[in-house]
Chains A and B, each alone.
Chain A
Amino acid sequence: MNAILKSPFAWLLKREYWESRRGFLWAQVTTAGVILGITILGIIAGEVFRARMGIDGSVRMGAANLSEMLRSATAHDIGQLVKALDMTLLLFGFIASVVLFFVMFFYLLGALYDDRRDRSILFWKSLPVSDTATVVSKVIAAVIIAPLIAAVVTLAGYIGAQIIMSVWFLAHGVNPFSLLWAHIEPFSLWLHLLAMVPVNAVWALPTVGWLLVWSAAVRSKPFLWAVVIPILAGVLNFWVGLLGLPNIDTRFFWGDLVGRALLSLVPASWIAPDAVAHGVNFIDGDQLGAISYGAMARAFTMPEMWIGAVVGIVLIAAAIWFRRWRDEA
Chain B
Amino acid sequence: MNAAAEAIAERPATPPAAGSETVVHARGLTKRYKNAVALDGADFEVGNGRIVGLIGPNGAGKTTALKAILGLTDFEGDLKVLGMDPRRERPRLMREVCFIADVATLPRWIRVHEAIDFVAGVHPRFDRAKCERFLARTKLHANQKVREMSKGMIVQLHLAIVMAIDARLLVLDEPTLGLDILYRKQFYQSLLEDYFDENKTILITTHQVEEVEHILTDLLFIRDGKMALGTTMEEMGARFAEVLVNADKVEAARALKPIDERAAVFGKSIFVYDSADPERLAQLGEVKRPSVSDLFVAIMKGTYA
Residues 186-208 (chain A) with a chain B CB within 8 angstroms: none
Interface string of A1-44 (1 = CB under 8 A from B): 00000101011101100110000000000000000000000000
List the B side residues contacting A18 at CB < 8 Å.
Answer: 109-111, 114
Contacting residue for B94 out of A118, A122, A126, A327, CB 8 A: A126
Given contacts A125-B72, A128-B94, A128-B95, contact A115 B122 (CB under 8 A): no
Given contacts A128-B95, A128-B123, A128-B124, contact A19 B107 (CB under 8 A): yes
Q: A8-B122, A11-B117, A15-B118 are in contact. Are A122 and B109 (CB under 8 A)?
A: no
The 8 Å CB contact of A8, one of B67, B70, B121, is: B121
The answer to the question of B247 belonging to the interface, with a C-beta cut-off of 8 Å to chain A, is no
B107 touches A118 (CB 8 A): yes
Q: Is the CB of B102 within 8 A of A127?
A: no
Residues of A in contact (CB 8 Å), total 27
Q: Closest B-chain residue to A114, C-beta based?
A: B107
A63 within 8 A of B: no
Give the interface centre of B99, B107, B114 by most chain A CB atoms within 10 Å.
Answer: B107
Which residue of the partner chain B has the closest CB to A6?
Answer: B121
Residue of A nearest to B99 (CB): A126
Interface string of A73-110 (1 = CB under 8 A from B): 00000000000000000000000000000000000000
Min CB gap B5→A, angstroms: 27
A120 CB contacts on chain B under 8 angstroms = 105-108
Interface size on B, residues (CB 8 A): 34
Interface residues of A in 124-155 (CB under 8 A from B): 124-130, 133
- Pick the contact of B73: A123, A124, A129, A327 (CB < 8 A): A327
Please measure, in the bound complex, the distance between the C-alpha atom of A8 and the C-alpha atom of B126, giving whole angstroms: 13
Q: Are A327 and B72 in contact (CB under 8 A)?
A: yes
Per the bound structure, the CA–CA distance linking A121 and B106 in Å amounts to: 9
B92 at the interface (CB under 8 A from A): yes
Residue B101 interfacial (CB < 8 Å): yes
Indicate if the CB atoms of B118 and A11 lie closer than 8 Å.
Answer: yes
Residues of B within 8 A of A (CB): 33, 67, 70, 72-74, 90-95, 98-102, 104-111, 114, 117-119, 121-124, 158
Interface pairs A-B: 7 shortest CB-CB: A11-B121, A120-B107, A128-B94, A130-B91, A122-B101, A122-B105, A8-B122
